[in-house]
Amino acid sequence: MSSIDIRLATPSDMDAMAVLYAEAFDPMQPRLSIEQYLTPPGAFALVAQIDSAPTTHENTSVAASVAAGYLIGRVASDETEIFSLGVANDFRRRGVGRALVETLCALTAAQGAKSVFLEVAADNPGAAALYRSLEFKAVGRRKNYYRDPGGARVDAIVMRFDLANKGLD
């Protein structure tokens, strides 16, 4: 199985994150969306690198690593928020999303965060299943929070993970 390497994003990752965002969410102005998520004080991004299939060049097999997913979040006071999480279609169900969220939890717990919050669309059962598998709990609902591609309003489920209970604070 390919290894997943999670690291803090740098400015040189912006293009790759924009491609991932466009694939996971919205192809319109993905770079602007990424930049807006990174604007609030304390915001940062993680990138997941994963081995891709080796390519052959002049009879030499070259192993490569590609950006398979990203997570943007921030720490404010003792709370961590997840703003955006996306994994490339080709790399889904390989543990990339889980590794990104787990790394965020460990990283921000070490900075003093006590809990992690996020919003997930009520019509996104895959993402909700990921968070539930990590023991996030639904703690609220924001009515009509999102607008889907067809223009219909969709509720957001607010989920919370208690870092303190997991010994991660």
Q: Which residues bind ligand COA (CB under 6 A)?
A: 24, 85-87, 92-98, 120, 124, 126-127, 129-130, 133
- Give the strand pairing for 79-87 and 43-57: unpaired
CB 36 within 8 A of CB 83: no
Q: How far is the CB of 155 from ligand COA (least distance, A)?
A: 13
* Residues 21 and 86 sit within 8 Å (Cβ to Cβ): yes
Contact 72, 101 (CB under 8 A): no
Of 111 and 133, nearer to ligand COA (C-beta) is 133
- Determine the 3-state secondary structure of 20 from DSSP: helix
Quote the least distance from Cβ 79 to ligand COA, whole Å: 17
Q: Which is nearer to ligand COA, 57 or 143 (CB)?
A: 143
Which of 23, 102, 119, 135 is the catalytic position? 119
Catalytic residues: 119, 131
